[in-house]
A and B are shown apart, each in its own frame.
Chain A
């Protein structure tokens, strides 16, 4: 192993770092997993360097874990078995934009906000918005989505092709710049969501969308979570093309009031956004309003100015920290995130079950969700030192996952498996886990790519 690091140091010079400070920086995570230090951190600048790094690591069986913005919530970027952390920060360029094809080519280290800043003059935007300012490579590798997926799809629908370095250093290209293709196995989508266990993404062809002519955001309140969710269900079933439709339960709103100093009434809310022509936005808002009336909506507030909208979504995007803030008062401070996603018709059942269960189990918890997709997060306040609370959180998270599966859903709508959801893999995928394992073995026979993630121990 020192031998491998020496070779890597020869290759990368000062861009291979082994200082404790840097390793420690790369060993942190947004959730409650313990600090996990890699043996070294590499900062490649080109695909060729990534390929050369992987050749060395492959020859010496040194584990390699890719690192983007470290905003993942299931520890995907943590080097569990030590080895090399591949920080893609220096591969963060927008390589080309082709406005007439509504696409661009980027390196994986670029963050979504930076990309949208660079795109501003084109009238186009990259739609996927997981809240955190994640890197695009990380978003692809975890199959991220977020608030806008209900309208524009997840990252799965927004990537046309990839350049990927495989475990042995082989560089492949998947997909094309055409909008569709029927040529062979869909390696692009095999790589999306593979959490760095099948290859390292070094370039991505990304779909863009035209900035809507008009955008309006709104907030409204409901008497219960169930009424709010039933309003969402009917909205989706009616085919109103919502750009965003987010649920926040009363505890989440309390968290916002604490963290973002807002003064929202502490009752369930929906945060909404409408995109289209001015006429279409007005029509969508009216149609939504009619449905919402049926479920006793109140406190309707609209925001058409960009600043007001930005403030609203900034508050929403800080939900994770607001959940932590809510817990801090109760001795928590860390958040155990859940990420279930269910068929839309079962959403009310799932959300009310979750809320009742957290109360019954004495857990401090918030509920926030991309409910247009059937996806919601229960943020459990935990103190990793408090064994009893950790045990209850684990027990709740497990029960919630099983509940989602029983309703025809999934344990993870957008965070991925990483470390925290491996125990669900057999329950969700059954015999297909062996198929996934066969694929992993075929592409990474010595298991150097992000070992210990996604697939449960054999």
Chain B
């Protein structure tokens, strides 16, 4: 009844931009990973902050859940409407609002995707660096504290969001942060909202830090006799202060999957894929120093190139890693893990994980953003086989526990959603209930993305 009344009120001002048609609901209830569909009762496509505010006022009044929706690429069901209600799809709030090249910042609406943003930035000589692989929306990336291949150089979303306009659960609009490069004025609400997965507010504007497109980019690849050598080479590189822009690890199974999927010709060995940004002299120098480290660790000759086509091919292969791995077991579905550990513990974490995976009998190629200590095992399960799912979940739990024991975290970049809630007490102890207190303080009616991230809702 409250729902019907709320939908009437919403329909009154959104008109056709509120849908209760089954195909729309179904499309918004899906997840990229193994979670069961969870469709909302309605989908709204607001066009302005004022409309988002009205939607929240109405939903707050009627106690109707509200879930933000960007590109639907999140991996922990953050965009699924677990308790029904209204999904707010930001597809129509996808504009680049103000670009300020002189300050190297830009204000965008949450629905713009990172590729669309970089397309618009092309003529300025600036770019937005955070690159999770998927063509996610900026709003979704901010809300899940996304990162990816370039984080080792340019940071995560937390480091690249300067401020928000956000609509609170009761419809009030706030602004956080500043366009100054730093501020010490008051609580850091910007950092509080980044990674809050739509449970504290819906963001309607985001101010991002931009970076100059480097004068020269070089990228290359090298193989190692074993995983530990590759990881040790990464550690040495970071400690020597060689400024890596990207450094990605792929295991031998992933290399094989690349060969089969992308027609590459990689040895069936662990590899590092590396990129350097800088002046032509500095990238050549960085590559040369890196090559020495690789040789010290028994790696193959480091083959690199500043040629754009070569680089693009390399990173396209990496970004298609998920699909290449998926294709290596026809008909399989994937459970993707996301642990992140201190870099000194990385070799151990990967080795032990590989041993567990081998013992489980489930294929689980590994690839990762090793400069950050973050790696993913893609556990390939037969969807018809419940035993597979159980074993994959057990592996995933084992990995999370290992990460915590090694001083790390159960999720480096995918977020909590529903899939990682089980580890929150182990990771945060009492601090998880403090997160719950903050949630209640800002969303007392628990209408914002209920069922995600915090305890007990």
Residues of A within 8 A of B (CB): 98-103, 142-145, 149, 154, 156-157, 166, 170-174, 176-187, 189-190, 192-194, 198, 210, 212-213, 233, 237, 239, 277, 279-280, 283, 339, 341-345, 373-375, 404, 408-417, 421, 424-425, 428-436, 438-443, 454-455
A161 CB to nearest chain B CB (Å): 10
Bound Cα distance A8, B156 (Å): 44
Find the B residue at minimum CB distance from A189: B191
A162 CB to nearest chain B CB (Å): 10
Residues in chain A near residue B230, CB distance under 8 A: none
Q: Is B196 an interface residue (CB 8 A)?
A: yes
Residues in chain B near residue A283, CB distance under 8 A: 279, 281
Decide: B372 and A415 in contact? CB cutoff 8 A.
no
Find the B residue at minimum CB distance from A162: B431
Bound Cα distance A15, B155 (Å): 43
Instruction: Kindly specify which of B112-120, B182-190, B321-329, B384-392 makes contact with the partner chain.
Output: B182-190
Decide: B159 and A157 in contact? CB cutoff 8 A.
yes
Q: Is B139 an interface residue (CB 8 A)?
A: no
Decide: A239 and B412 in contact? CB cutoff 8 A.
no
A133 CB to nearest chain B CB (Å): 19
Residues in chain B near residue A415, CB distance under 8 A: 184
Decide: A409 and B179 in contact? CB cutoff 8 A.
yes
Find the B residue at minimum CB distance from A239: B212
Q: State which residues 384-405 of B face A: CB under 8 Å.
A: 403
Bound Cα distance A233, B442 (Å): 39
Residues in chain A near residue B407, CB distance under 8 A: 176-178
Decide: B182 and A413 in contact? CB cutoff 8 A.
yes
Residues in chain A near residue B282, CB distance under 8 A: 280
Q: Is B374 an interface residue (CB 8 A)?
A: yes
Bound Cα distance A432, B374 (Å): 34
A122 CB to nearest chain B CB (Å): 11
Decide: B184 and A339 in contact? CB cutoff 8 A.
yes
Residues in chain B near residue A343, CB distance under 8 A: 100, 103, 105, 179-181
Which of A102, A170, A187, A455 lies in contact with B435, CB distance below 8 A? A187
Decide: B183 and A341 in contact? CB cutoff 8 A.
yes
Decide: A344 and B181 in contact? CB cutoff 8 A.
yes
Decide: A210 and B241 in contact? CB cutoff 8 A.
yes
Bound Cα distance A192, B158 (Å): 14
A405 CB to nearest chain B CB (Å): 9
Which of B100, B432, B454 lies in contact with A345, CB distance below 8 A? B100
B70 CB to nearest chain A CB (Å): 15
Decide: B182 and A149 in contact? CB cutoff 8 A.
yes
Interface flags for B334-375 (1: CB within 8 Å of A; 0: not) read 000010111110000000000000000000000000001110
B67 CB to nearest chain A CB (Å): 18
A364 CB to nearest chain B CB (Å): 26
B296 CB to nearest chain A CB (Å): 16
Q: Is B17 an interface residue (CB 8 A)?
A: no
Most buried by B among A179, A237, A412: A179
Find the A residue at minimum CB distance from B188: A189
Find the B residue at minimum CB distance from A124: B239
Find the B residue at minimum CB distance from A103: B342
Residues in chain B near residue A177, CB distance under 8 A: 341-342, 407-408
Instruction: Kindly specify which of B32-40, B168-176, B246-254 makes contact with the partner chain.
Output: B168-176
Interchain residue pairs with CB less than 8 A apart (25): A145-B184, A170-B430, A172-B430, A173-B428, A176-B407, A176-B409, A178-B342, A182-B145, A182-B412, A183-B409, A183-B424, A185-B192, A190-B438, A193-B184, A343-B179, A373-B182, A374-B181, A429-B175, A432-B175, A435-B189, A436-B186, A441-B441, A443-B434, A443-B438, A455-B186
Decide: B175 and A411 in contact? CB cutoff 8 A.
no
Which of A101, A184, A342, A375 lies in contact with B195, CB distance below 8 A? A184
Residues in chain A near residue B175, CB distance under 8 A: 429-432
Decide: B187 and A424 in contact? CB cutoff 8 A.
no
Bound Cα distance A143, B177 (Å): 14
Decide: B442 and A154 in contact? CB cutoff 8 A.
no
B430 CB to nearest chain A CB (Å): 5
Decide: A210 and B240 in contact? CB cutoff 8 A.
yes
Which of A101, A185, A373, A374 lies in contact with B438, CB distance below 8 A? A185
Most buried by B among A154, A192, A429: A429
Which of A181, A433, A442 lies in contact with B411, CB distance below 8 A? A181
Bound Cα distance A99, B159 (Å): 23
Q: Is B12 an interface residue (CB 8 A)?
A: no
B352 CB to nearest chain A CB (Å): 16
Bound Cα distance A83, B154 (Å): 44
Q: Is B330 an interface residue (CB 8 A)?
A: no
Decide: A100 and B235 in contact? CB cutoff 8 A.
yes
Q: Is B312 an interface residue (CB 8 A)?
A: no
Residues in chain A near residue B79, CB distance under 8 A: none
Bound Cα distance A356, B343 (Å): 51
Instruction: Kindly specify which of B80-88, B217-225, B266-274, B414-422 makes contact with the partner chain.
Output: B414-422
Q: Is B71 an interface residue (CB 8 A)?
A: no
Residues in chain B near residue A145, CB distance under 8 A: 182, 184
A339 CB to nearest chain B CB (Å): 7
Bound Cα distance A185, B178 (Å): 20
Besides the contacts A143-B183, A183-B423, A186-B192, what 11 more A-B pairs have beta carbons closer than 8 Å? A157-B159, A172-B434, A178-B341, A181-B145, A182-B195, A184-B428, A237-B104, A408-B178, A412-B183, A415-B184, A438-B441
Decide: B442 and A435 in contact? CB cutoff 8 A.
yes
Find the B residue at minimum CB distance from A186: B191
Bound Cα distance A238, B232 (Å): 34
Find the A residue at minimum CB distance from B427: A183
Residues in chain A near residue B30, CB distance under 8 A: none
Decide: B431 and A173 in contact? CB cutoff 8 A.
yes
Decide: A180 and B147 in contact? CB cutoff 8 A.
yes
Decide: A144 and B441 in contact? CB cutoff 8 A.
no
B154 CB to nearest chain A CB (Å): 12
Decide: B344 and A431 in contact? CB cutoff 8 A.
no
B136 CB to nearest chain A CB (Å): 13
Q: Is B453 an interface residue (CB 8 A)?
A: yes
Bound Cα distance A425, B187 (Å): 11
Most buried by B among A101, A373, A375, A454: A101
Bound Cα distance A320, B146 (Å): 41
Bound Cα distance A102, B145 (Å): 22
Decide: A210 and B158 in contact? CB cutoff 8 A.
no
A254 CB to nearest chain B CB (Å): 28
Find the A residue at minimum CB distance from B404: A176
A128 CB to nearest chain B CB (Å): 11
Residues in chain B near residue A99, CB distance under 8 A: 239
Find the B residue at minimum CB distance from A166: B434
Q: Is B151 an interface residue (CB 8 A)?
A: yes
Given A100-B343, A345-B103, A375-B180, A176 contacting B427 (CB threshold 8 A): yes
B73 CB to nearest chain A CB (Å): 14
Q: Is B307 an interface residue (CB 8 A)?
A: no
B280 CB to nearest chain A CB (Å): 12
Bound Cα distance A416, B343 (Å): 33
Find the B residue at minimum CB distance from A421: B185
